[in-house]
Amino acid sequence: MNEPLIRVENLTKVYRIGAVDFPALVDVNFQIENGEFISIMGPSGSGKSTLLNILGALDRPTAGRVLVEGFDLFQRDDNQLAEFRNMKLGFIFQAHNLLARTSVLANVALPGMIAGESKAKRKERARELLELVGLGDRVTRKPNELSGGEQQRVAVARALMNYPLIVLADEPTGNLDSKTGYEIVAMMKRINMEQGTAFVLVTHNPQFASETERVIYLRDGRVTEETRESVTALSRHNELEAQRKLVDETIRKASATMTRLIKESDRLLS
C-alpha cells in the first residue's frame, strides 16, 4: 500500500502563557494523498492557522507526528526544516507578500534564487509559471501596477517555483471580492488537476471549500467532521446565476406585457 503524501497522527499543540495551558490542537488525525486538493474550515480560534503552521514546518507540535512520504518531519533539525520548506513546500498567504520594488518575474523567481538555481533556469521557470497563471504579458510590471487578483496570481506562481510537493494556502481569497476569489480558487483547482500538485486551502468560505475534493472541519482544536464534495460551488454559483437571469427576464417580459395592456386599455377607454 502506498504511503500518503502527508499523515498527521495524534497531533497536539499547547501554548503556555504564564501558568496557563491553552490547547490549540488536540489529537488531530488525517492524511493527504499525492495530488489531492483539500480544504480546512472552522471558526476563528479553531486551530486552522496553527495546523497550517505545523504542516508548513513553521512551528513544532507539542505531541504527535507529521509524516511526509513516510518520514517524521520533526525529527529534522531547524536547518533541515528550512531546506524542506524551501524545496518541498509552497506558501500562499492572504496578503500576497510581494516585494514592492521588484518586478513580477523576479518575485516569482525568488524561491529559485534561495534554492541556488541558476539565473537562466529560474527566469525560464518563472516565465513558464506566469504564463500558467495568465500573466505572461506582465513579467516586467511591479506589484503596485497590478490588481489585487493579479497580485495573488503572482503569489500562486511563486509558490510553485521549486516544484513543491504541496502548496499551503492560508485564506488566499480573504482580501479579494467574491468574483476574483472564485477565479483564484478555480485557477488553483486547474493547476492541481493539470500539474498534480497537492493543495491545502484554509478558508472561511464554504463555497470555496466545496471546490476541493475533501473538507476537514476544525472546532476547538479538534477535527469534528470530514466530507467529500460532489457538487462544486462554482457549478452551484453558475446555476443560481442562470436562475436569477431567468427570473429577471420573466419579470422584464411581464412588465412589458403589463405596460402594453395598460396602454391598450387607455386607448379603448378614450
**What is the chain written as a DSSP string?**
-PPPSEEEEEEEEEEEETTEEEEEEEEEEEEE-TT-EEEEE--TTSSHHHHHHHHTTSS--SEEEEEETTEEGGGS-HHHHHHHHHHHEEEE-SS----TTS-HHHHHHHHHHHTT--HHHHHHHHHHHHHHTT-TT-TT--GGGS-HHHHHHHHHHHHTTT--SEEEEESTTTTS-HHHHHHHHHHHHHHHHHH--EEEEE-S-HHHHTTSSEEEEEETTEEEEEEE--S-HHHHHHHHHHHHHHHHHHHHHHHHHHHHHHHHHHHHH-
- Tell me, yes or no, whether 188 lies in a domain: yes
Higher pLDDT, 270 or 84: 84
- The pLDDT tens digits for 55-96 are 999 999 999 999 998 899 999 999 999 999 988 999 998 888
Q: What is the mean pLDDT of the chain?
A: 88
Indicate if 84 and 214 belong to the same structural domain: yes
d(CA 251, CA 83): 61
Indicate if 79 and 182 belong to the same structural domain: yes
- Tell me, yes or no, whether 119 lies in a domain: yes
Nearest in space to 40 (alpha carbons), one of 152, 164, 168: 168
Q: Which three cell numbers stand for residue 161?
A: 517555483
Indicate if 247 and 158 belong to the same structural domain: no
Indicate if 182 and 141 belong to the same structural domain: yes
Indicate if 176 and 262 belong to the same structural domain: no
Q: Which three cell numbers stand for residue 104?
A: 513580477
Q: Which three cell numbers stand for residue 201?
A: 486551502
Is the pLDDT score of 146 beyond 90? Answer: yes
pLDDT for 90: 94
- The pLDDT tens digits for 89-136 are 999 988 888 999 999 999 999 999 998 999 999 999 999 999 999 999
Indicate if 219 and 252 belong to the same structural domain: no
Is the pLDDT score of 184 beyond 70? Answer: yes
Is the pLDDT score of 197 beyond 90? Answer: yes
Indicate if 166 and 267 belong to the same structural domain: no
Task: Indicate the residue type of 235.
Answer: S
pLDDT for 237: 47
Nearest in space to 84 (alpha carbons), one of 94, 93, 74: 74
Q: In total, how many domains does the chain have?
A: 2
Indicate if 201 and 254 belong to the same structural domain: no
> The whole model's pTM is what?
0.79
- Tell me, yes or no, whether 214 lies in a domain: yes
Domain enclosing residue 263, as ranges = 240-270
Indicate if 167 and 207 belong to the same structural domain: yes
Q: Phi and psi of 106, rounded to 5°?
A: -70, -35
pLDDT for 11: 96
pLDDT for 243: 66
- The pLDDT tens digits for 15-65 are 988 889 999 999 999 999 999 999 999 988 899 999 999 999 999 999 999
